[in-house]
Amino acid sequence: MRFALTSDQAALREAVRDLLRAECPPAVVRAGWPGAEEADAARVRRVWAQLAEMGVVGAAVPEEAGGLGLDACALVGLLEETGRAALPLPVVETAFVAGPLLAAAGEQALVERLVDGDLLVGAALDGSGLVPYARVANALLVGDARSIAVAEQQQTTAHADVRLVAPAAFEAAASIDGARAPGRVAEDAGAALDAEPAALAAAWERGVLGSAAQLLGLSRTLLTMATQYAHERRQFGVAIGTFQAVKHQLADALLAIEFAAPAVLRAAWSLDAGAPQAGRDVAMAKALASDAALKTAATALQVHGAIAYTVEYDLHLFAKRVWASARAWGDADWQRARVAAALGLTHEGATR
């Protein structure tokens, strides 16, 4: 089986890439951090409005609810592009997690606002209550959908709910990536969504897969930055990219990215097909994408040398997004434990 985007999916992905290349340069990413000038923050909001106009924000919302009704195979390409640009907004949480979930819960008024680009949603479905992008979101989704997803994979039952919380009901928390600006929500805040367990589990899986797709995009940008710098930086009269020690590191990073990319597409296909091993495939995709992104970020820092440690350098925007995103929606170790449980290699697996 060949896991690749169709021509239509690739065309939509290219359109999103062109938009973000023009409208979301590193200066806009930096404007998503706290302390940015109001004019710069307006540039971030303008990007969101343009994505909504293209239909990206409501792409996963069913057509009968006003969206495009695109499947996961179409969405992962778009989300990879938002990772490539390090878009400083909760596009996975809003477009890929909240949109279909709110539609399934019958929250049509919120769905309409989301499709129009007026609703940004922060989501934490791992039971922690620590919600990324709480500072910029209009609504927050919190709960333990992860337990339901794990229980479904293990063919057991678990009870949990997901609550919709007002945006002001959180305490600000710190993050290595300032654009994620998380907030901690109280356990009893908000009202539970009227959604079936299967819809909650699917929301968790989509969040994991969307995070993996974004990590791929971040990896590709970091590798491009490192490769360009290795071509330009000269020592002993030659470009440092001619040194085998540098070439090997860049090649290893590329290998990790290209190894993870088809796993992400496979996981998207499994979700769309309702495959019984979908949870396993999504977990594998996130583990491989996290590993690739962390490796590429470390390689990019190494290749850039001392300049990489100046916070004014754009490399930091992408590396810090990797460090935060690799731990979100289940880190690589947690996801590998889930894969092991699916293969019957452990009794505990991803239940911890």
Domain map of the chain by residue range? 200-351
**Predicted local confidence at residue 157, as pLDDT:** 66
Q: Give the C-alpha separation, 340 to 222, whole Å.
A: 30
Taking the CA of residue 260 as centre, how many other CA atoms within 13 Å lie in the half-sphere pointing to its CB? 35
Eight-class DSSP state of 275? -
Which residue in the block uniquely carries the two structure tokens 């909240």?
98
Looking at the predicted structure, is the pLDDT value of residue 154 above 90?
A: no
Q: What is the CATH number of domain 200-351?
A: 1.20.140.10
Q: Give the C-alpha separation, 213 to 176, whole Å.
A: 20
Whether the Cβ atoms of residue 25 and residue 31 lie closer than 8 Å to each other = no
Per cent of the chain over pLDDT 90 is 66
**Predicted local confidence at residue 315, as pLDDT:** 95
Looking at the predicted structure, is the pLDDT value of residue 284 above 70?
A: yes
First to last CA, the chain: 34
Residues 6+ apart with CB under 8 A from 222: 253, 293, 296, 297, 299, 300, 315, 318, 319, 322
pTM for the model? 0.93
Looking at the predicted structure, is the pLDDT value of residue 349 above 50?
A: no
**Predicted local confidence at residue 7, as pLDDT:** 79
Question: Residue 311: which of 15, 30, 6 has the closest Cα?
Answer: 30
Whether the Cβ atoms of residue 44 and residue 63 lie closer than 8 Å to each other = no
**Predicted local confidence at residue 9, as pLDDT:** 80
Q: Give the C-alpha separation, 323 to 196, whole Å.
A: 33
pLDDT tens-digit profile of 303-313?
Answer: 999 888 888 89
pLDDT tens-digit profile of 129-146?
Answer: 899 999 899 999 999 888
The set of long-range contacts for 124-127, using a CB threshold of 8 Å and a minimum separation of 24, is 124/185, 125/97, 125/162, 125/200, 125/203, 125/204, 125/207, 126/329, 126/330, 127/160
Token code pair at residue 233:
């930086």
Taking the CA of residue 203 as centre, how many other CA atoms within 13 Å lie in the half-sphere pointing to its CB? 36
Q: Give the C-alpha separation, 30 to 41, whole Å.
A: 9
Whether the Cβ atoms of residue 123 and residue 93 lie closer than 8 Å to each other = yes
Q: Give the C-alpha separation, 129 to 293, whole Å.
A: 25
Looking at the predicted structure, is the pLDDT value of residue 221 above 70?
A: yes
Helices of type H across the chain: 7-23, 26-31, 38-54, 72-84, 91, 99-104, 108-116, 145-153, 197-232, 244-273, 278-304, 315-325, 332-342
What mean pLDDT, rounded, does the chain reach?
90
CA torsion angle 129 132 133 138 (round to 10)? -30
pLDDT, average across residues 12-31: 92
